[in-house]
Amino acid sequence: MPSSPVVIGVDSSTQSTKAAVIDAESGRVLAVGRSPHTVTGEGGARETDPQVWWGALCEAVASALDESGVPASAVAAIAVAGQQHGLVTLDAAGRPLRPALLWNDTRSAPQATALVRALGGADAWLARTGSVPVASMTATKWQWLRENEPETADAAAAVRLPHDFLTERLAGTAVTDPGDASGTCWYSTATGAYDPELLSLVGLDPALLPAVAASGAERIGSLTRPAAEALGLPEGIAVAAGTGDNMAAAVGLGLGGAGLLDHPVVSLGTSGTVFAATRTRPSSPALAGFATTDGGHLPLACTLNCTLAVDKVAALLGLDREDAEPGGEAVLLPYLDGERTPDLPHASGLLTGLRHTTTPRQLLGAAYEGAVFTVLRALDELPLGGGDGEPRGPGAQARPLTLIGGGARGRFWVDTVRRLSGRPVLVPQSEELVALGAAALAAGAASGRDPVAVATAWGTGRGRELPAVPRDEGARRRIEDVLGDVTGRARRSDG
């Protein structure tokens, strides 16, 4: 049992909740509890009852505490990191009016297109939010709700993001943070506040929104008695504002603030992402111009189809996920849920380049290649500097790619990233970086320390570095040609 206090970091993702019990001094992971979520919906719909998240959080915390052997009295603080962009609508009693629309619900694609036009185009959105609305962003989902379920929108007494909903259940206080708020498209990264004109554009009363804390590590309240009883934790412990999952992963890696800047990260999970903490405010339509949890810059590109889509291809072929080889002449774009980057919300999976000699293992390898290439394609858009904050231009190769997420534990995922990027790859030893980042926020709320400095001292970003291998230019050209044809046809269709 640790002699120092412990903190709990919660990762409430699309598929499950993980709660990590962490020694606040050493950063040692004492236990991780897990509880699955239920996602429903067909076609473009993806929804979850927010009460499922709360039940999963309670189960995961209880499981982690039981496994750790730590008495509940040793817990000093808790923080939640949640999946971004989800739309939670509540009545006056704080009860969900309907299942939450998740980030990968693509039904709001028409609303995204209309909102871009309504403000005067992509540049107008970039100037305010750093992002151009796509179907994953919260503002587009609210607009979809207004148009398709106006009675629900009219009845809403509160609008929350997933992590906001859970944090409010913990502390009884309606608070978000700059990082998660920056993914809504009604928060301005230029001003660090909700944008009145954007709220007016989507017909959203700002009184329905939570206050924005200065950072995710701010202590926004104490654990209430009902929450303490549900979780088996002491009433009154510190509750941090928390943040979005990508922002928490950045904290867990020691990125931003006094930590590492301009260090590119590739995350391979249900979605694929590339991001970095920078001093440069992004202005590319290919990027989401997110903020770090303390209001810095966290430019990020996100794809909808990554490990889950490749696992589906493996299942269709009757293969184990590691039973793959390079795709040869085959190109497989595994856009099974539409795609966000590039913005192809109505796309489906595409296979081309078959030969008599093509094998099932090559088809699976082609799915890996299509998913990885789609993620890596966004790297050149990141406004990376030379480590001193000075712009160095796109495509900077001086630093390794930090590879995280479930895919970072898969041999063929790692091999494919190395082969298609031609860059060194760093795989952190710590596996639960989102939960660890949330735990660092909790530690910050309890002690007043900078959470990035906490995570850096814990060493959660350290790992094994793999050298660069020659880049597979042939595979990249084949995928680029096919993807170019697909996006060209989509633009002509939209026009």
What is the number of domains present in the chain? 1
* Position 343 in a domain: no
Give the pLDDT band (50/70/90) at residue 2. low
**Residue 223 pLDDT more than 70?**
yes
Which residues are part of a known binding site for substrate? Answer: 84-85
Average pLDDT over residues 49-67: 97
The average pLDDT across 115-122 equals 97
Taking the model in full, what pTM does it have?
A: 0.88
> What pLDDT shows up at residue 495?
56
Give the confidence band of 45 by pLDDT, cuts at 50, 70, 90. Answer: very high
- What confidence category does residue 43 fall into, taking pLDDT thresholds of 50, 70 and 90? confident
Whether 169 is covered by a domain: the verdict is yes
- Minimum mean pLDDT among 135-144, 387-396, 438-447: which range? 387-396
Answer whether residue 138 is part of any domain. Answer: yes
Per-residue pLDDT at 397? 56
CATH number at residue 106: 3.30.420.40
**Across 99-116, average pLDDT:** 96
- pLDDT attached to residue 388: 39
Mean pLDDT calculated for residue range 446-471: 95
Q: Note the pLDDT tens digit of each residue in 352-396.
A: 999 999 999 999 999 999 999 999 998 888 988 644 334 444 444
Q: Which domain holds residue 14?
A: 6-246
- The pair of structure tokens assigned to 426 is 């760093």
Please provide the average confidence, as pLDDT, over all residues in the chain. 93
- Mean pLDDT for 70-80 is 97
Q: Is residue 95 part of a domain?
A: yes
Q: Give the percent of the chain with pLDDT over 70.
A: 96
Which pLDDT belongs to residue 398?
57
Please indicate, yes or no, if residue 99 is contained in any of the structural domains. yes
Q: How far apart are CA 361 and CA 379, in angstroms?
A: 28
Of the listed ranges 366-375, 399-408, 413-422, the least confidently predicted one is 399-408
Q: Is the pLDDT of residue 268 over 70?
A: yes
Confidence of residue 1 (pLDDT cuts 50, 70, 90): low
Q: Which residues are catalytic?
A: 245
For residue 191, count CB atoms less than 10 angstroms from its CB and return exposed for 0-12, middle for 13-18, buried for 19 or more. Answer: exposed
Contacts of 164 (CB under 8 A, 6+ apart): 82, 88, 174, 175, 176, 180, 210
Q: Is residue 353 included in any domain, yes or no?
A: no
Contact 367, 350 (CB under 8 A): no
Q: Which pLDDT tens digit goes with each residue over 144-193?
A: 999 999 999 999 999 999 999 999 999 999 999 999 999 999 999 999 99
**CA quadruple 451, 452, 453, 457: dihedral positive or negative?**
positive
Q: What is the pLDDT of residue 393?
A: 44
- Give the pLDDT mean for 246-266: 91
Q: Which residues fall in the annotated binding site?
A: 84-85
Q: Tell me if 369 is assigned to some domain.
A: no
pLDDT (tens digit per residue) in 287-303: 999 999 999 999 999 89
Q: What is the CA 226 to chain-centroid distance, rounded? A: 29
Tell me whether residue 403 is in a domain. Answer: no
Mean pLDDT over residues 261-271, rounded?
92
At 259 the pLDDT is: 80
Least confident range from 49-63, 165-179, 203-217, 376-390: namely 376-390
